[in-house]
Amino acid sequence: MSEIPFVFPNDVHPPWSIMIVLYPYITGLVAGAFVVSALYHVFHREALKPVARLALVTSLCFCAFATLPLLLHLHRPERCFNVLVTPSVTSAIAGFGFIYSAYMLVLVVEVWLVFRPAIVEQANSLTGAKALFYRVLALGVTDITDRSRAIDSRLIRVLAIMGIPIACVLHGYVGFLFGAVKANPWWSTALMPVIFLISAIVSGIAALILLYQFISWRRGETADRECVGALARYLWMFLVLAASLEGLELLQMAYEAGGEWPILRALLTEHLAVSYGLVQVLIGSLVPLLLLLTSFTRRLPARLVMFSSGLASLLILVQVFAMRWNVVVGGQLFSKSFRGFVEFPLHWMSREGLLAAAVILTLPLAALWVAGKILPIWQPAEAGTLADAR
């Protein structure tokens, strides 16, 4: 029985814009970068030492702007605090306010403790306004003892451990936000939170490889091969997980071929062919999986490993964005009549437009640059930190 397209009248206005694509993308980077810093602070992966501090600050910088796409998306942004004032326990969006606040607190405190020695040192060595600035940053306490250092180290580890479940909840809940919408067969799967979480870690590691390589290049240094190699191997492992889960989800949908499969098949083959088949699967997953294999052998020259890891990371960042796009936009391309497709409007200049999206993606990087001016984030973590923690 062939069908003629039909779209419910209100479905021609897809309610979620590119901002809702950015939002899980940015929170994913937050969670992923935090996992890398935890690998060092909690699991003592020594090879990650050069990026441990960078990972933590990167996580904070992206976290600071994670709410911005949401605020730009809200049609009544001035009422955003209603989410905290009269929250509904049954709403995933209401949960965000609290999980986000908790995570932000953990991040800020951890960053503060990690950099306190540096802050105190600046407060004591500088003069005038600069000294005052660092004194305020130090909350007025400008002396450090060996014992306070030891206490801080232990606290940092506790916060890093606490941060792992909170980061997982933060991003798992973003997946839940989509996975629990039973009205939408493209979203409604219990795998959604897991897929979001794993791809978040993937994007975080990839972003750190690129940042580390870029910063090393700008500073005229060579990125540590051991560090990049270790990151690349982690990246490969999580990418295998992410790609398998995404593939299995699709396979199951296609194999079960439930009542909504015809519209989903049409969605995949006609509307997401490029962004899913080409970008997310082929260029974004298969090619990086091959490129990252170079990090498993010591026989290849360092430059090749660096190059292939960097290229793979870049492709993976595109892939994860495409994955968010395919979920958020893909889920709105078909009408709930399951009989027709709608256009997804894209503008350059509107509040929810492409330009605003580009600015939002740049802001965390700008914040990272500013943070680099204030704090010694490029320096590897202090030698003492790990020893004390043990």
Partner 1 sequence: MVELEVIGGANGQCGGSSDPCESAGCQCDSAESDSRRQFLQQASTFALGAVSLTLFPVSVAEGEPAGGAGGGLGTDAQPPMYGFLVDTEKCIGSGKCLTACRVENDVPEGYQRTWVERYVHFKDGTVQVDLVPETGYAGSDQPPIDPEQVERAYFVPKLCNHCEDAPCNQVCPVHASFTSPEGFELIDTERCIGCAYCVQACPYGTRFINPDTGTADKCTWCYHRVMRDEDPACVEACPVGARLFGRVDDPDSEISQRIAAIPTSVLKAHLGTHPKTRYLGISDEVT
Partner 2 sequence: MNRIVALWRDTRHLWVLLILVVGIGAVALMARARMVPESYGETGPYRARARDEIAAKPSVLIADATCLECHADVGEERAESLHKAVRCFHCHGVGHEHVALARKAAENPDLSVPPAAEWDGNFRTDIDLYVTEDRATCLACHQAVVGMPEDFKKINVAEHLENMGASETESRETCFECHAGHDTAP
DSSP per residue, 264-330: HHHIIIIISIIIIIIIIIIIIIIHHHHHHGGGG-SSS-HHHHHHHHHHHHHHHHHHHHHHHHHHHTH
Residue 311 CB neighbours (<10 A): 15
CA dist., res. 84 & res. 110, Å (int):
24
Residue 6 CB neighbours (<10 A): 10
CB of 140 to partner 2, least distance (A): 7
Q: Which of partner 1, partner 2, none does 157 bind, CB closer than 5 to 8 A by kind?
A: none
CB of 215 to partner 2, least distance (A): 29
Distance of CA 346 to the CA centre of its chain: 23
Instruction: Pick from 46, 82, 190, 345 the residue near partner 1 by CB under 8 A.
Output: 82
| Secondary structure class of 125 (helix, strand, coil) | helix
Token pair recorded at residue 229: 């190699």
Q: Which of partner 2, partner 1, none does 147 bind, CB closer than 5 to 8 A by kind?
A: partner 2
Q: Nearer to partner 1 by C-beta: 75 or 390?
A: 75
The site string for partner 1 over 288-307 (x = CB under 8 A, - otherwise) reads --------------------
**389 exposure class (CB count in 10 Å sphere: 0-12, 13-18, 19+):** middle
Which phi and psi (to 5°) does residue 269 adopt?
-85, -30
**Does 94 help bind partner 1 (rule: CB under 8 A)?**
yes
Residue 287 CB neighbours (<10 A): 16
Q: Which of partner 2, partner 1, none does 67 bind, CB closer than 5 to 8 A by kind?
A: none
| Secondary structure class of 131 (helix, strand, coil) | helix
Distance of CA 8 to the CA centre of its chain: 34
The site string for partner 2 over 224-263 (x = CB under 8 A, - otherwise) reads ----------------------------------------
CB of 90 to partner 1, least distance (A): 5
**Does 339 help bind partner 1 (rule: CB under 8 A)?**
yes
**Does 157 help bind partner 2 (rule: CB under 8 A)?**
no
CB of 85 to partner 1, least distance (A): 7
| Secondary structure class of 118 (helix, strand, coil) | helix
Query: In the window 96-125, what residues touch partner 1 (CB under 8 A)?
Result: 96-97
Phi-psi region of 145 (alpha: psi -120 to 50; beta: other; left: phi over 0): beta
Q: Nearer to partner 2 by C-beta: 138 or 228?
A: 138
Q: Which of partner 1, partner 2, none does 145 bind, CB closer than 5 to 8 A by kind?
A: partner 2
Query: In the window 119-148, what residues touch partner 2 (CB under 8 A)?
Result: 138-141, 143, 145, 147-148
Query: In the window 76-105, what residues touch partner 2 (CB under 8 A)?
Result: 81, 84-86, 88, 105
Query: In the window 140-199, what residues touch partner 1 (CB under 8 A)?
Result: 177, 181-184
Q: Which of partner 2, partner 1, none does 148 bind, CB closer than 5 to 8 A by kind?
A: partner 2
Give how many residues touch partner 2 by CB under 8 A: 19
Those residues whose C-beta lies under 8 Å from the C-beta of residue 81, and which sit 6 or more positions away, are none
Q: Nearer to partner 2 by C-beta: 84 or 346?
A: 84
* Contact between 197 and 203 (Cβ < 8 Å): no
- Residues forming contacts to partner 2 in the complex (CB under 8 A) are 81, 84-86, 88, 105, 109, 112, 116, 138-141, 143, 145, 147-148, 151, 155
